[in-house]
Amino acid sequence: MANIFTETLQGKVTDRPPVWFKRQAGRILPSYMKLRDQYGFKHMMDTPELAAEVTLLPIYDLGVDAAILFSDILVVPEALGMNLTFDPKPSFHPALKDVENPMDLLERQPEKLEHIYEAIKIIKKDKPDNVDLIGFCGAPLTTLCYMYQGFSKKQNFPALVPALYQNKKELKNVIEEITEMAIHYAKEQVRAGIQAFELFDTHAGIIPLELYKELFLPAVKRITNAVRSTNTAVIYFPMGIGTGLSLMNYDVADCISIDWQTSLFDVRKFVGEEVVLQGNIDPRLLLTDKKTIEKEFQPYLKFGRKEKKWIINLGHGMIPEIPAENAKFLVDLIKKSDWQR
Q: Is the pLDDT of residue 153 over 70?
A: no
Does 194 map to a domain?
yes
* SS3 of residue 153 by DSSP: coil
Q: Give the pLDDT score at 273.
A: 92
> How far is the C-alpha of 277 from the C-alpha of 306, rounded, in Å?
13
* SS3 of residue 43 by DSSP: helix
Amino acid at 336: K
Q: What is the pLDDT of residues 73-112, one digit of tens each?
A: 999 999 999 998 877 778 899 999 999 999 999 999 999 9
CB 28 within 8 A of CB 296: no
Structural domain that includes position 154: 4-336
CATH of the domain at 161: 3.20.20.210
* Phi and psi angles of residue 279, each rounded to the nearest 5 degrees, phi first: 120, -160
* Residues 6+ away with beta carbon under 8 Å from 109: 78, 79, 80, 81
pTM for the model stands at: 0.96
> How far is the C-alpha of 36 from the C-alpha of 223, rounded, in Å?
32
Q: Give the pLDDT score at 243.
A: 92
Does 98 map to a domain?
yes
Does 341 map to a domain?
no
> How far is the C-alpha of 181 from the C-alpha of 179, rounded, in Å?
5
Burial class of residue 210 (count of CB atoms within 10 Å of its CB; 0-12, 13-18, 19+): exposed
